[in-house]
C-alpha cells in the first residue's frame, strides 16, 4: 500500500494551447479589429518580458489603452487582484478597452494577462527575498522568530549532513544492526535525543534502552560486553554523566559510539566511532541546546534508518506491529484516509 501518491503524475506536461486549432474551449482566434492580418501576435510574453513589452508597445497604443498598460506595468500585483471590470474602473476606461489592451500585449484575453500578472508579481516578490539571517533579538516579532528559527535549523541540518563522516556512520550502523543489545546515554537536552533513539530502535525490535540516570547508566554499562553497543550523546563532549558510562562500556569490550559536537572532547577517547554534530552559532535567545538537538536528531535518524535497512526482515514487521498495538489509543473519528 505504502502511499497512494503514485496515482497523480499527470503527464501531458506542457499543455499549452499554442497551436491555433488546438484550443478546446473557444475559437477565440478571430481578430476583432477588421484590420487584415493580426499576425497572431508574437509569442505571448512570459511574465518577465511583460514590463518590457508594455514599454515597447506603449507608443502604438491609444490613450485609453496606455492608461491600462501603465497601471499594469506599475502595479502588477495589485492589478492581478482585479477583475476586468475592476481594472477598467481603476483606469477610468471600459472592460472592452482592457481586453483590447490584453490582446495587444499578446494574450488571448484579459484572463490570461491576469495570470501572467500574478506570475510577474510573484517573481518580483521572491526576487526581493530578504533572507532573514540575523540573530534573534528580544523584540523580534513572532513572524520573524519563526522564519529565523526555521532557517537556522535548516542550516544546521545542511551543515550536519555535510560534516558527517559516512564511514563512521557505516561502521556504527553495522555494529548496531548486529548488536545483542544497545544502551544509549544522554542527559539534559541530549537525554531526549537519547530517548528518541532508543524508542525508535525498540519499534524495530532491537533491544535498546536509554539511560538518563547516571548511576543506572553505569550500572547497566557494567553488564555490557563484546557484541553490545553503547551510544553516548553529548554536545559538549565533556558531560561526565555520559562519559562515565561510555567509558565503562568501552572497558567492558562493547562497541562504543559517540555523538558529539566536539570530536576532540573527552568522550571521543572512549568511542570506537565518533559521529560529529554541527555546532551552529548560538545567541542568548537561542541556546546551543536548540541547534545541537536538531543536529543530533539527524544523526540519530540516520543511524536508525541504517539499522532498519540492515535488519529489514525483522524491522518491517516489528514496525507495523507497534503501530497496530497503539491503534486503539486513538479516537476513532478522523475522516478519510
Partner DNA sequence: ACCGATATGAAAATATCTTCCACCCGTGAG
Partner DNA sequence: CTCACGGGTGGAAGATATTTTCATATCGGT
CA atoms within 13 A on the CB side of 299: 36
| 112 vs 45: CA distance, rounded Å | 11
| 294 vs 50: CA distance, rounded Å | 44
- Of residues 6 and 226, the one with the C-beta less far from a copy of itself: 6
* 95 is a contact residue toward DNA (CB under 7 A): yes
Q: Which of 106, 108, 186, 191 binds DNA (CB under 7 A)?
A: 108
| 253 vs 212: CA distance, rounded Å | 22
Closest distance between a copy of itself and the C-beta of residue 225, in Å? 26
Closest distance between a copy of itself and the C-beta of residue 115, in Å? 4
| 275 vs 190: CA distance, rounded Å | 14
- Of residues 92 and 317, the one with the C-beta less far from DNA: 92
- What residues have CB less than 8 Å from 213, skipping those under 6 apart? none
Q: Which of 25, 59, 127, 141 binds DNA (CB under 7 A)?
A: 25
Torsion angle of C-alpha atoms 135, 139, 142, 144, degrees rounded to 10: -40
Identify which of 267, 288, 290, 263 has the alpha carbon closest to the alpha carbon of residue 277. Answer: 263
Q: Which of 52, 58, 77, 96 binds DNA (CB under 7 A)?
A: 96
> In the stretch 50-79, what mask flags binding to DNA with x, by CB under 7 A?
------------xxxx--------------
- Of residues 43 and 126, the one with the C-beta less far from DNA: 43
93 binds, among a copy of itself, DNA, none (CB under 5 to 8 A by kind): DNA
Beta carbons within 10 angstroms of residue 324's beta carbon: 9
96 binds, among DNA, a copy of itself, none (CB under 5 to 8 A by kind): DNA
Closest distance between DNA and the C-beta of residue 111, in Å? 4
- What residues have CB less than 8 Å from 100, skipping those under 6 apart? 32, 65
* 170 is a contact residue toward DNA (CB under 7 A): no
For CA atoms 82, 86, 91, 97, give the dihedral sign.
Answer: positive
- Of residues 50 and 229, the one with the C-beta less far from DNA: 50
Summarize as ranges the residues that interact with DNA (CB under 7 A). 25-26, 28, 30, 32-33, 35, 38, 62-65, 83-86, 92-100, 102, 108-112, 114, 332-333, 335-336
Amino acid at each position: 500500500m505504502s502511499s497512494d501518491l503514485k496515482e497523480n503524475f499527470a503527464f501531458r506536461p506542457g499543455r499549452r494551447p499554442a497551436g491555433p486549432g488546438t484550443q478546446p474551449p473557444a475559437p477565440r482566434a478571430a481578430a476583432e479589429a477588421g484590420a487584415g492580418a493580426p499576425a497572431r501576435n508574437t509569442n505571448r510574453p512570459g511574465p518577465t518580458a511583460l514590463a518590457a513589452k508594455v514599454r515597447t508597445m506603449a507608443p502604438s497604443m491609444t490613450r485609453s489603452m496606455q492608461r491600462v498598460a501603465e497601471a499594469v506595468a506599475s502595479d502588477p500585483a495589485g492589478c492581478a487582484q482585479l477583475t476586468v471590470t475592476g481594472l477598467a474602473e481603476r483606469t477610468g476606461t471600459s472592460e472592452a478597452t482592457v481586453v483590447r489592451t490584453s490582446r495587444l500585449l499578446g494574450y488571448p484575453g484579459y484572463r490570461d494577462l491576469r495570470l501572467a500578472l500574478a506570475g510577474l508579481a510573484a517573481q518580483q516578490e521572491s526576487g526581493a527575498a530578504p533572507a532573514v539571517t540575523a540573530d534573534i533579538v528580544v523584540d523580534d516579532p513572532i513572524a520573524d522568530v519563526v522564519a529565523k528559527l526555521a532557517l537556522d535549523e535548516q542550516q544546521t541540518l545542511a551543515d550536519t549532513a555535510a560534516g558527517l563522516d559516512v564511514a563512521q556512520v557505516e561502521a556504527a550502523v553495522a555494529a548496531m544492526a548486529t548488536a545483542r543489545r544497545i544502551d544509549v546515554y544522554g542527559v539534559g537536552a541530549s537525554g531526549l535525543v537519547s530517548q528518541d533513539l532508543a524508542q525508535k530502535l525498540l519499534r524495530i525490535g532491537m533491544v535498546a534502552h536509554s539511560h538518563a540516570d547516571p548511576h543506572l547508566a553505569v550500572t547497566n554499562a557494567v553488564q555490557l560486553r563484546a557484541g553490545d553497543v553503547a551510544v553516548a550523546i553529548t554536545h559538549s563532549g565533556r558531560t561526565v554523566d555520559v562519559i562515565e558510562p561510555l567509558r565503562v562500556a568501552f572497558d567492558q569490550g562493547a562497541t562504543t559510539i559517540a555523538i558529539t559536537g566536539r570530536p576532540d572532547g573527552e568522550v571521543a577517547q572512549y568511542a570506537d566511532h565518533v559521529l560529529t554534530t554541527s555546532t551552529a552559532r548560538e545567541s542568548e535567545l537561542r541556546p546551543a541546546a536548540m541547534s545541537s538537538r536538531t543536529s543530533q536528531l539527524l544523526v540519530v535518524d540516520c543511524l536508525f534508518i541504517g539499522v532498519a535497512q540492515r535488519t529489514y526482515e525483522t524491522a518491517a514487521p516489528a514496525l507495523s506491529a507497534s503501530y497496530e498495538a497503539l491503534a486503539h489509543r486513538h479516537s476513532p473519528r478522523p475522516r478519510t484516509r
